[in-house]
């Protein structure tokens, strides 16, 4: 058991969580034996390509669809037997949401608050607070149909906040947003986590989004959880990324560098070699290059990108 497990409390726990759909007489496994822990205070990035099973996972965690097998708990509530309790303490922004565009933002929020059983006096106070948090107070009386995509997404976040949730599930939250709206929404997510202590479960296929806000990341592929770690933990899996520029690169030179102890992978172009190694092998690389009568023009260590981690982890998970 990791020290983190002992100190921090899990707000999401699943064991063998599986969802199988029957499509045209065929069984399609959308989520396959998911064992996952998300801790209170995390901004957890649930990363995977479209169709990987991310939305299905969220729907099961919220009790909006039952698992085929396995179990799960959110804030200690069982996702099947106590799903109503989960939805009372969890906010959710689906990829596609629906507001009434011919009424005001305020009236929309009041309508949804009533649906959630919140009395009007309490709802009005919560709506006021939520609109302040998402910076839409001055547009409370405006028709939603006049809102930009980014403003509608902030309104959706305000709607989720009315419950004063412990955890918020975001499904592809910045899809279709312009760069300004994306940064604005990202900052709101960080604010909710840092200032209000809300746990964030962020589903996305966009690497740069996850890298910007998440402290822990899970990679999902074909319904299977391939790996879970911190961003730095994933970067450490690749190790050193050594970029070398030489006067000339031959296949024989590449083979000799591959044989250096600690070298995991090599990518080469006409005059540049990228070497992934668990240890610093720069001196040995220089020796090999000079042994072939060539010169090292530059050699440096760079931090691997999340994109490189993504392809490495997915390759290992296939």
**pLDDT for res 47:** 92
Q: What is the dihedral of CA 51, 52, 55, 57, to 10 degrees?
A: 150
Q: Computed from CA positions of residues 296, 297, 298, 304, in that sequence, does the dihedral angle turn out positive or negative?
A: negative
Assess whether 206 and 250 both reside in one domain: no
Residue 25 maps to a domain? yes
Residue 318 maps to a domain? no
Assess whether 46 and 78 both reside in one domain: yes
**pLDDT for res 317:** 53
**pLDDT for res 1:** 38
Band of residue 61 on the pLDDT scale cut at 50, 70, 90? very high
- Domain range for 84: 3-235
Residue 30 maps to a domain? yes
| CATH (domain of 272) | 3.30.70.100
Across the range 216-227, mean pLDDT stands at 92
Q: Is the model more confident about 237 or about 31?
A: 31
Band of residue 8 on the pLDDT scale cut at 50, 70, 90? confident
**pLDDT for res 127:** 98
Across the range 141-169, mean pLDDT stands at 96
Residue 230 maps to a domain? yes
Across the range 11-19, mean pLDDT stands at 98
Please tell me the distance from the alpha carbon of residue 39 to that of residue 13, in angstroms, as a whole number. 9
Mean pLDDT of the chain: 91
Residue 309 maps to a domain? no
Cα–Cα distances in angstroms (integers) from residue 310 to residues 48, 202, 236, in the given order: 9, 17, 13
Band of residue 198 on the pLDDT scale cut at 50, 70, 90? very high
Structure tokens at 276: 């992934």
CB atoms within 10 A of CB 295: 11
Assess whether 63 and 105 both reside in one domain: yes
Secondary element (H or E) of residue 219: strand 216-221
Residue 314 maps to a domain? no
pLDDT digits (tens, 9 = 90+) for 18-32: 999 988 889 999 999
Residue 173 pLDDT greater than 80, yes or no:
yes
Band of residue 239 on the pLDDT scale cut at 50, 70, 90? confident
Band of residue 17 on the pLDDT scale cut at 50, 70, 90? very high
Assess whether 217 and 289 both reside in one domain: no
Cα–Cα distances in angstroms (integers) from residue 269 to residues 245, 272, 295, in the given order: 10, 5, 16
Residue 113 pLDDT greater than 70, yes or no:
yes
Residue 2 pLDDT greater than 50, yes or no:
no
The answer to whether residues 133 and 191 touch, using CB atoms and an 8 Å cutoff, is: yes
Residue 3 pLDDT greater than 50, yes or no:
no
Q: Is the model more confident about 293 or about 2?
A: 293
Band of residue 316 on the pLDDT scale cut at 50, 70, 90? low
**pLDDT for res 232:** 82
Domain total for the chain? 2
Residues of the chain with pLDDT > 70, as a percent, come to: 96
Residue 212 pLDDT greater than 90, yes or no:
no
Assess whether 146 and 71 both reside in one domain: yes
Strands, sheet with 199-204, edge to edge from the N-terminal-most edge strand: 90-93, 167-171, 199-204, 43-47, 216-221, 224-230
């Amino acid at each position: 058991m990791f020290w983190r497990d002992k100190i921090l409390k899990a707000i999401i726990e699943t064991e063998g969580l599986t969802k199988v759909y029957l499509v045209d007489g065929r069984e399609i496994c959308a989520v396959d034996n998911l064992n996952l822990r998300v801790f209170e205070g995390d901004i957890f990035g649930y990363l995977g390509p479209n169709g990987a099973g991310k939305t299905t996972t969220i729907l099961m965690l919220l009790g909006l669809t039952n698992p085929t097998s396995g179990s799960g708990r959110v804030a200690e509530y069982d996702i099947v037997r106590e799903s109503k309790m989960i939805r009372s303490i969890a906010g959710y922004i689906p990829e596609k949401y629906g507001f009434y565009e011919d009424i005001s933002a305020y009236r929309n929020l009041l309508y949804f608050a009533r649906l959630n059983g919140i009395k009007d006096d309490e709802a009005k106070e919560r709506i006021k607070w939520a609109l302040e948090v998402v910076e839409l107070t001055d547009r409370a009386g405006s028709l939603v149909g006049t809102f930009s995509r980014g403003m509608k997404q902030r309104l959706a976040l305000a709607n989720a906040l009315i419950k004063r949730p412990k955890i918020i599930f975001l499904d592809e939250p910045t899809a279709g947003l312009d760069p300004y709206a994306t940064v604005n929404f990202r900052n709101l997510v960080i604010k909710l986590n840092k200032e209000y202590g809300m746990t964030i479960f962020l589903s996305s296929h966009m690497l740069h989004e996850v890298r910007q806000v998440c402290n822990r990341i899970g990679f999902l592929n074909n319904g299977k959880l391939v790996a879970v770690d911190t961003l730095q933990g994933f970067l450490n899996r690749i190790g050193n990324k050594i970029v070398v520029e030489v006067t000339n690169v031959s296949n024989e030179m590449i083979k000799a560098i591959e044989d250096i102890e600690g070298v995991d992978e090599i990518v080469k172009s006409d005059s540049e070699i990228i070497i992934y190694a668990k240890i610093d092998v720069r001196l040995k690389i220089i020796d090999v290059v000079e042994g072939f009568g060539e010169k090292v023009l530059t050699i440096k260590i760079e931090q691997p990108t999340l994109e490189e981690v993504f392809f490495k982890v997915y390759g290992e998970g296939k």
